């Protein structure tokens, strides 16, 4: 890894055979609990009332051990283009796919938790080099958050969303992109909001699948659908957010299990893919086992179960209530996402919403669930953003 703060070096992901053998051995030797005690025969979401059903987990663990091919994912990352650089003494890993189009716009894409760069490997090429010359093209940069994937693990506190956003501006500058568009969901949406609010001189505009309104807004004047959104979001944080409370308060404690047990890590992450996707029963209705296992295996091989959880410790409920975004913004609210913000509320923070979209399908991981729609929506949203900024 280069020590010069200005260096950007090519990077290749290579797990050793010993690491992969160890993973398979741990999977084979896993100690599993008894089956859940409720709704085992019930179809649909009720099967998941106590978490990942034993039968589902056993099936995925067996495939992970005997059928899954990590090497193909490593090759996929290499084809896109991987790099590392050091910012504020922390190594940052990122994908960088330059477009062949002369009119391409730099685009920074930020993932969240329990996602990773694996969320975007299937859409990067379409965004960079679309077949249709009339749709926008992008130089795509997808960084791994600090403590995630092949980025370094912070050894001190302070790497919250504000510092990450500042680091992303530095990263884009090193790549020659003084001005760029930004996109993200989950923590990536939060960071994208900070980028648009704090760095308008560099950010041409934003597209987000996560809009966080200022606190204390009234439901007066909202439509029935918007009221339902607020109720669903409130229910989520009251009854289904134990993972966030744990990671925001005791990330080190849960980290031991996530780093030591691949089955524990798989269950922790698979639970979210199941609950947060637009499916009736299993996340594999819309997302392949391979792609979810790419994500989980990346966490496993890089031992980032604890370090990734710390983004909650650093930044949970930390978005500045006074922050306003004046650059053009396009916002998409997918119907099965865990947080959905009414447009009147969003407008209190995002002052120039140029496109608002509410698709009929999709959840928290739209680039994996509905990739075709996701790419088109992102193109159209950013086209509106860039047009408004001219």
Residues 317, 311: Cα–Cα separation, whole Å: 11
Note if 39 is an active site residue.
no
Interatomic CA distance for residues 118 and 36, integer angstroms: 30
| CA–CA dist 99, 202 (Å, integer) | 20
Query: What is each CA distance from 71 to 74, 245, 297, in whole angstroms?
Result: 5, 35, 11
Could you give the CA distance from residue 139 to residue 102 in angstroms, rounded to a whole number?
10
Point out the catalytic residue in the list 364, 373, 374, 377.
364
The residue from 186, 290, 295, 337 that is catalytic is 186
Q: Is 252 exposed, middle or buried (0-12, 13-18, 19+ CB in 10 A)?
A: exposed
Instruction: Clarify whether 186 is annotated catalytic.
Output: yes
Out of 177, 243, 312, 350, which one is annotated catalytic? 312
Q: Are 103 and 130 in contact (CB under 8 A)?
A: no
What is the distance between the alpha carbons of residues 261 and 147, in angstroms, rounded to a whole number? 18
Distances (CA, A) of 108 to 11, 98, 191: 19, 12, 11
| Catalytic annotation present for 78 | no
Strands 90-97 and 82-87: antiparallel
Of residues 112, 85, 82, 339, the one with CA closest to residue 210: 339
Give SS3 for 48.
helix
Sheet of strand 8-10, all strands in order from the earlier edge strand to the far edge = 8-10, 82-87, 90-97, 138-143, 105-110, 180-184, 203-208, 329-332, 353-357
Active-site annotation, residues: 186, 312, 364
């Amino acid at each position: 890894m280069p020590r010069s703060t200005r260096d950007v070096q090519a990077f290749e992901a290579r797990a050793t055979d010993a690491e992969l053998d160890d993973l398979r051995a741990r999977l084979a030797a896993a100690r599993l609990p008894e089956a859940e005690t409720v709704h085992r025969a019930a179809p649909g979401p009720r099967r998941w009332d106590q978490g990942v059903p034993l039968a589902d987990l056993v099936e995925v663990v067996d495939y992970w051990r005997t059928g899954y091919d990590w090497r193909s994912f490593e090759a996929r990352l290499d084809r896109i283009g991987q790099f590392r650089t050091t910012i504020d003494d922390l190594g940052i890993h990122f994908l960088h796919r330059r477009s062949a189009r002369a009119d391409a716009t730099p685009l920074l894409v930020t993932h969240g938790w329990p996602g990773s760069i694996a969320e975007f490997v299937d859409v990067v090429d379409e965004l960079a080099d679309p077949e249709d010359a009339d749709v926008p093209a992008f130089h795509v940069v997808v960084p791994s958050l600090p403590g995630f994937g092949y980025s370094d693990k912070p050894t001190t506190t302070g790497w919250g969303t504000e510092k990450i956003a500042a680091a992303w501006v530095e990263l884009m500058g090193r790549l020659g992109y003084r001005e760029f568009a930004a996109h993200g969901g989950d923590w990536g949406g939060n960071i994208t909001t900070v980028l648009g609010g704090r760095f308008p001189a560099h950010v041409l505009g934003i597209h987000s699948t996560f809009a966080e309104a200022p606190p204390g807004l009234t439901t007066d004047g909202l439509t029935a659908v918007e009221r339902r959104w607020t109720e669903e979001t409130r229910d989520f944080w009251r009854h289904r957010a134990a993972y966030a409370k744990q990671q925001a308060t005791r990330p080190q404690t849960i980290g031991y299990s996530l780093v030591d047990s691949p089955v524990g890590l798989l269950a922790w992450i698979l639970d979210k893919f199941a609950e947060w996707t637009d499916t009736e029963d299993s996340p594999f209705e819309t997302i392949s086992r391979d792609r979810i296992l790419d994500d989980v295996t990346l966490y496993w091989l890089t031992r980032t179960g604890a370090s990734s959880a710390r983004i909650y410790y650093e930044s949970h409920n930390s978005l500045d209530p006074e922050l306003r975004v004046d650059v053009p913004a396009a916002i998409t609210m997918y119907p099965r996402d865990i947080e959905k913000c009414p447009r009147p509320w969003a407008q209190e923070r995002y002052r120039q919403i140029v496109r608002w979209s509410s698709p009929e399908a999709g959840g928290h991981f739209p680039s994996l669930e509905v990739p075709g729609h996701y790419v088109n929506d992102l193109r159209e949203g950013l086209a509106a953003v860039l047009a408004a900024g001219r």
